Structure 1
Amino acid sequence: MLKISNNVELADWEIELTAVKSMGAGGQKVNKTSSCIHLRFDIKRSTLPQFYKERLLTLKDSRITKEGVIIIKAQQFRTQEQNREDALERLKQLILSATVVQKTRRPTKPTRASQKRRVDAKKRKAQTKSLRGKVQ
């Protein structure tokens, strides 16, 4: 059971965890132990509220496939249990990040004082450069 918020939880049957052999350098047991975790979560089949599903499916994230399946690969730690916890935490963070509503940006205009400062700075720079010419 993965608790997302106070009233949203994911059951164990919704999250598919698979142990795989990790890539990269390792020690003596590198080819024997499966410490890497592949997490698969099908958004469309899940019991998440519709709002969560819609927001997740509209995300432009490389971890979400065209079919609406989130795939997370956790191999940062040496133990399978730590990688499992890391994968679940990353899934939770991804779901929570989809629910954050961005503030709408209102276009602003520069103030009259800032425009004047910019023009004055340009004039000073032009004056300095004009003095660098040939001496008559």
Structure 2
Amino acid sequence: MSGMTTTEAAVPSLSIGEVAERTGLSVHALRFYEREGLLVGPVRRTSGGRRRYTSIDVEWLLICVKLRESGMPLADLKHFAELVRRGPGNEADRLRLLDAHRQRVDAQIQALEECRSVIAWKVGVYAEHLARGEADGLWDPTT
């Protein structure tokens, strides 16, 4: 840990590459998250200017990854990070934001389940016709 002060060396830290590996985010994405204010704390730097992350940063980033993968808009994620950075006292606001997102995800899941049901039905139709040797002409646009 050359280039670090005694205080910095006392806190276990990870390089940007190590964090990228643990979170599945690219180094570019990690820099973007930092620039956009999506982290809840400042990223520490070595005296040489290299970013150093804590396990708390990694835990937060893993939450961010799941929120983004589930379709949370960047603006909502920024707002959530801002609320967390402010500290205690805004938990009801955080809950409202997360609950609204959960409701959107639930609606997406329901819509996907309906789509899956139609697809499963159609797979059954084709499988049945093929098994009976009667698949000719199924959805034939030329007839």
TM-score by length of 2: 0.24
TM-score by length of 1: 0.25
Larger Rg: 1 or 2? 1
Structure number having the greater strand percentage: 1
